[in-house]
Amino acid sequence: MAAIPQPNNPFLQHMGINLLQWSEGYAEFEMPIQDWHMNRQGALQGGVVSTLVDAACGYAGLYSPAGSPEVHGVTITLNVNFVSSTKKGRLIAKAKKIGGGRNIFFAEAEVYSDEGILIASGQGSFKYRR
């Protein structure tokens, strides 16, 4: 299986977030949990999980095949529901585009631990940048 080319996104690279799968209407990311992803209570920082939801939802609607111009967008709204937490291993975010039109699209995501425990779910709306 060929490696998935990683998006040119310095923030995701800095966070250690890697693209695992990307196709029309779908994106999947992973992030190994690091000590610096924790908050002062020693729990996984909510902003880290929110970043995964945002990235996965956004990329689910911004797919462009190899050799095609990149498609870009911006987040309009993001809603994250924190269900559980974990302190080790990695997180997997899976998102799908669920609707939209020429200018705006909608997506939903779920974030899981290595053990398959649902950590968070979320939904967002995004505007294409032309």
Per residue in 71-125, pLDDT (tens digit) is 999 999 999 999 999 999 999 999 999 999 999 999 999 999 999 999 999 999 9
Q: How far apart are CA 86 and CA 61, in angstroms?
A: 28
Contacts of residue 75, Cβ cutoff 8 Å, sequence gap at least 6: 54, 58, 124, 125, 126
Per residue in 72-82, pLDDT (tens digit) is 999 999 999 99
Give me the half-sphere count of Cα atoms (radius 13 Å) on the Cβ side of residue 79. 6
Q: How far apart are CA 18 and CA 40, in angstroms?
A: 25
Q: What is the pTM of this model?
A: 0.93
Domain segments of the chain: what residues? Answer: 18-129
The CATH architecture of the domain made up of 18-129 is Roll (3.10)
Place of tokens 């968070």: 120
Max distance between CA atoms of the chain, in angstroms, equals 45
